[in-house]
Structure 1
């Protein structure tokens, strides 16, 4: 008989006004674990106010919820809930099998003071050493967590991607798309700077899709911040693009990269975290996009200029993206990897 699973998640995981890769990952995996992949009896516990750690009533609710879970149960906890509260996990780590799923190390959040990053890193280290297993969402993040926190084994469960029809390209490739919450970590400010300062002489249109957590000032009428989109509206945004741009300062994997590749869209992204892993290679060894250093508007502007002015480069990257589209990971594989950890 399959063991039941308790899943402890950030509050608002299904809130359409605040979509995130981590929320979509959690929801997709839990649906598969409860369905045909594993047929587990999944019990969900949502904890509000979960970054960088539950506070006040949320701490009390989390402690009470963990106390109500039967002994020797499997408990999959999102890292945004678990990694900041080792004191809450400690009374339960011997009687429960705690499996922590880390989407982004807490100290990697952009804009933290050094002392705050150190404090969060110490809490995360303590929390992960209380876990029976740790899962990261990329091979790169798994290695980072193992080295940072002296962990013997961190499993990697790379996100899958839903199949999608390929986008129809325009000859000049002028339609640029960025899909990410508008925050300093995602780097839309660098994209706006590159476009307005260095590429005003060229024809382009840039659409930024994502929750406006910290809006970016801009003056060009060719830059559009749409707010969050989902479902058919998000699919339409991908279909109406030529190049996907992700100028992040930090990224564990970059699910939107594979979502763009599923539409055969080439990708221009910063080489941070697991982005190069998500971008991958086509079967012939070519890369379906361009990687640049993070936080470098000059490099970003140069790569965009190449894309907009070099037809041969556009065709090469488009061909590579079409080929890479056929080799992308699927969600069932992600769920099976997590099942292997749960069943170990």
Structure 2
């Protein structure tokens, strides 16, 4: 797994949670945290990966590393190493890539998935997406687990939370554009996530907060972890996730673990996370869901959905009840680790 990623990420959280669960289940796990600017490795970075791959008969490699190194993956497989790729997100999902980078990543990830012994993704949506992009590649679905958490208390006025790295892929500007249309209603927003990946985009967010929304509404915090993040969750009433691409969105099930409903964009794995495992994408009724799935292309649609939740006590109560009902049915990390172990030893 990569060592030098800036800020916390869902993929890294998945890796460490599964490592812990596998260890607790009695599996011997040796962790290699590889230096380097993955997924743009230097020759030295590639040699470090090759050394790690050959150290054990079975290797599980984070996708941000493996998808950028098909030659090293193929060489290890040819030497009898079973190599499994954890695909948290495709390298080509980044909307900021230029043509040359996108072409290079497309070739690399296609080759890596083709030569690996096996691979897994966090949602059926993601598996279908890969099969469409790269015919013949079959991936297993291993949804992320969740850790138990107390129900959130919420705030007055209602506190919304957007929790994701501050990048165009996570599309926080979409949420700000929608909330700018709701100045007549009481609400606050916590905008939380690593601000190191795209300083120019963070600048656009700051400009929107200042000029479109105004003071006193939005707090831009950067990355938050540990007890500080727990405190934010405790005060949250609604999660908003506006990603343009999302293989799952672990933050959604983290919200549901606290009884917090979510509004997410459709045509991504986030809709699957909100609905529950094994349910495909498609039109979604509001009733019975712990939130709503909205059109990712139109901030006005998101604004209308948020207005409904902010204005109608019945909607807020229904979403909250549905979120609380999901808490005991969420997959655990031990279940995720067991599913991964079955794939690797099959």
Contact 1:281–1:287, Cα closer than 8 Å, also in 2: no
Instruction: Report deviation, 1:173.
Output: 5.9
**Structure-2 separation of matches of 1:302 and 1:152:** 39
Q: Say yes or no: does 1:191 pair with 2:186.
A: no
Instruction: Report deviation, 1:335.
Output: 0.3
Instruction: Report deviation, 1:276.
Output: 1.4
Contact 1:53–1:83, Cα closer than 8 Å, also in 2: no
Contact 2:50–2:76, Cα closer than 8 Å, also in 1: no
Q: Say yes or no: does 1:168 pair with 2:153.
A: yes
**Structure-1 separation of matches of 2:124 and 2:157:** 32
Instruction: Report deviation, 1:128.
Output: 1.1
**Structure-1 separation of matches of 2:101 and 2:223:** 29
Partner SS state of residue 260, structure 1: helix
Instruction: Report deviation, 1:100.
Output: 0.8
Instruction: Report deviation, 1:135.
Output: 1.0
TM-score, scaled relative to structure 2: 0.88
1:210 maps to: 193
2:3 maps to: 11
Q: Say yes or no: does 1:81 pair with 2:61.
A: no
Q: Which sections of structure 2, spanning at least 5 residues, go unmatched?
A: 278-286
Tell me: CA distance 1:234–1:305, structure 2 relative to 1, closer, same or farther (3 Å).
same
Q: Say yes or no: does 1:234 pair with 2:216.
A: no
Contact 2:22–2:334, Cα closer than 8 Å, also in 1: no
TM-score, scaled relative to structure 1: 0.89
2:21 maps to: 32
Partner SS state of residue 319, structure 1: helix
Q: Say yes or no: does 1:136 pair with 2:121.
A: yes
Structure richer in helix, relative to its length = 2
For each residue in 1:205-260, what CA deviation from the matched residue of structure 2 results, as whole angstroms up to 9, or x when unmatched? 00011111331222122110112122221111011011111111111100000111
**Structure-2 separation of matches of 1:202 and 1:329:** 36
Instruction: Report deviation, 1:115.
Output: 4.4
Tell me: CA distance 1:203–1:65, structure 2 relative to 1, closer, same or farther (3 Å).
same
1:90 maps to: 74
Q: Say yes or no: does 1:69 pair with 2:52.
A: no
Moved more, 272-281 or 120-129: 272-281
For each residue in 1:122-141, what CA deviation from the matched residue of structure 2 results, as whole angstroms up to 9, or x when unmatched? 21111111111111122221
Q: Say yes or no: does 1:302 pair with 2:304.
A: yes
Instruction: Report deviation, 1:25.
Output: 0.3
**RMSD value over aligned CA atoms?**
2.1
Q: Which sections of structure 1, spanning at least 5 residues, go unmatched?
A: 1-8
**Structure-2 separation of matches of 1:165 and 1:249:** 30
1:48 maps to: 35
**Structure-2 separation of matches of 1:74 and 1:223:** 47
**Structure-1 separation of matches of 2:38 and 2:247:** 16
**Structure-2 separation of matches of 1:150 and 1:205:** 45
Tell me: CA distance 1:278–1:188, structure 2 relative to 1, closer, same or farther (3 Å).
same
Partner SS state of residue 231, structure 2: helix
Tell me: CA distance 1:99–1:50, structure 2 relative to 1, closer, same or farther (3 Å).
farther
Partner SS state of residue 97, structure 2: coil
Contact 1:179–1:256, Cα closer than 8 Å, also in 2: yes
Contact 1:194–1:300, Cα closer than 8 Å, also in 2: yes
2:141 maps to: 156
Question: Which among 152, 163, 180 is matched to residue 164 of structure 2?
Answer: 180
**Structure-2 separation of matches of 1:296 and 1:113:** 24
Partner SS state of residue 44, structure 1: coil
2:283 maps to: none
Aligned length: 325
Partner SS state of residue 150, structure 1: coil
1:292 maps to: 294
**Structure-2 separation of matches of 1:328 and 1:65:** 34
Contact 1:178–1:244, Cα closer than 8 Å, also in 2: yes
**Structure-1 separation of matches of 2:32 and 2:250:** 24
Tell me: CA distance 1:156–1:289, structure 2 relative to 1, closer, same or farther (3 Å).
same
